[in-house]
Amino acid sequence: MTMTPTEQPEQVVMPDPAELLIKEAREKARRRRLRWTSLFTLLIAACLIGIGIVHFTSSPTRTSSGRPDASAKALTCPSARVKLLRVLAISGGLGHAGLLVRASVASSSACTMSGYPIVGEELTSHSTVMASEMRFGYLGGWATGAPLPRLSITSRSRVVSFTIQSAGCNGPRPSTNAIQITLPGSRETMTARSFYEGGVGVIRGFGIYCGHLFVTPLVKGPSGNGK
């Protein structure tokens, strides 16, 4: 006769309470490290974003040549009162065309203007082209090697000037209807819609736009040229 051994009941192993406490403590420590790591990462991201915003707002814009645009710096004469006096044609040649712009400026609080006016030409093609900065050109500008002139603006109105220079051409091209002008350091924008040409008189509009548009620095007096 064959004897079949009786089955023994399985033994249930109870976890050690001390081991459970150690595991729970390790899990809490892991979660705590994860929270601190996430918070540190968010702080770094916020700092990088803040630095980027400050760099963007404090960096000067640049001209087409890649140089910093002096006229785009912080306003130095925000309360200046400006008035467009006259826009005159400059006799050009060798494929050049130019305008001499004269304006008066005053300020209730003393301030300083220096740099290049912001000039935009509104074309009949419903687009606007912006002038690049040019220290000195065929039709004038500021030729000396010294820093750009710094003009003291007070409550007494004074005359300032600059030139706009471009290429001359013929053919079917868009024309310039108006010129928007903002003096460096000023909030006010002046609009010119006509110019004066000797022997002809006042001419509405500014003729064909041929490209290569430049503006020279703001100088004292009516000549548009540095002495």
Give pLDDT, residue 2. 45
CB neighbourhood size of 124 (10 A): 13
User: Above 90 in pLDDT, residue 36?
Assistant: no
Give, as one character, the DSSP assignment of residue 135: S
Label residue 72 left, alpha or beta by phi (over 0 means left) and psi (-120 to 50 means alpha).
alpha
Q: What is the pLDDT of residue 71?
A: 40
- Position 183 confidence tier, pLDDT thresholds 50, 70, 90: very high
Average pLDDT estimate for 87-111: 90
Distances, alpha carbon 150 to alpha carbons 43, 116, 178, 203, 218, in Å: 44, 11, 28, 33, 9
Is pLDDT of 219 > 90?
Answer: yes
**In Å, how far from its chain's centre is CA 88?**
29
Q: Is the pLDDT of residue 57 over 50?
A: no
User: What is the C-alpha to C-alpha distance for residues 84 and 80, in angstroms, rounded to an integer?
Assistant: 13
SS3 180: strand
Q: Higher confidence at residue 200 or residue 226?
A: 200
**Domain ranges within the chain, ordered by starting residue:** 17-59, 70-220
Write down the pLDDT at residue 50: 52
For residue 48, pLDDT beyond 80: no
Tokens 């703001």, located at residue = 218
Lowest mean pLDDT among 30-34, 64-68, 205-209: 64-68
- The pLDDT value recorded for residue 19 is 64
Separation CA 192–CA 214 (nearest Å): 16
What percentage of the chain reaches a pLDDT higher than 70?
70
